[in-house]
Structure 1
Amino acid sequence: MVGTARQYQGAGDVELLRSFLVSMRAEAGHACWHSGDLVWRFFLHSLGHELEQTVRLWLDGRGQVEAFAIVTPRSRAGNLLFDVQVHPRARSQALLEQVLSWIESLASTALPAPHLLSTDTGVYDADAGQMAALRAHGFRPTGDEGLLLARSLQGPIAAPSL
């Protein structure tokens, strides 16, 4: 069941969001911010935007965060950029619809009108529900995804050349 939604209300919400992210990381199989990402992204975002206007929280009946979204109204390319974090225990089509509808409502009233609505929300391939919700709202991979590199640790690591 979807609880209530409200705008970010300042520093008091940071602990709620940090606890939310720590709880998400305790469960496997989905992408989410690290609590350090919260501090860094909120700092960067606050340099040009009011967090109270561009961050929204969705809370359960106990006042715990189920999801939050952050929207950058004026990106350098004239696009509206957003990120969404939804706890797997609360993930439902109804909640995802509420979050995406809020974001789309901001896009429809933004001035100047954005050229593109885009997200850098991390979604694992196994997270079919969130991927389906994004696709249902017209979002598609751009091909600009980050590059993830890995190396085997089964053999010795060569000594560095100094």
Structure 2
Amino acid sequence: MAPTLKDTATSVAGGRSARLRKALVASQVAVSLLLLIGAGLFLRTLDNLLAVDVGFDTRTLVSFTVDPSLSGYAPAESKQLATALLDRLGRAPGITAAGLAAQRLLDGSQRTADITVEGYRPAPDEDMDQNWNTVSPGYFRAMGIPVLRGREFEARDAASARE
């Protein structure tokens, strides 16, 4: 009788561990399936984002950030460095246009200013904050943004503009 009880105990214990193994495998398959679905949705979203028309030509655009203050440049020296960098980039082979901006487009950073229009009274819930950016001559051409009316900024515009 003892051997029979031993065999029964082993088969019962083996049955529990087999059920546990099956449950773990099923859980792993379910988690793997969820991860695959999530990865597929991520790739589809990425593909959709790459197809969005952002309003300027991104095919030949190279964008980078330079912060001269991190190297100890004073504001006046930073302006000189920016002017020299823009001049050198504009003369480099293969560069069709170069421009500078205080804020890169679509990077999440922005400058805002509250505006007032003489004779206009905004509604109580109307936001009069506007995003703005400081750009150099050649910026719109470099970004592939057509100027629909008027003209691009020129270097002489900065001399008479308010800083």
Same fold, TM-score > 0.5, yes or no: no
Of Structure 1 and Structure 2, the greater strand share is in 1
Of Structure 1 and Structure 2, the greater helix share is in 2
> TM-score, structure 2 length as denominator?
0.24
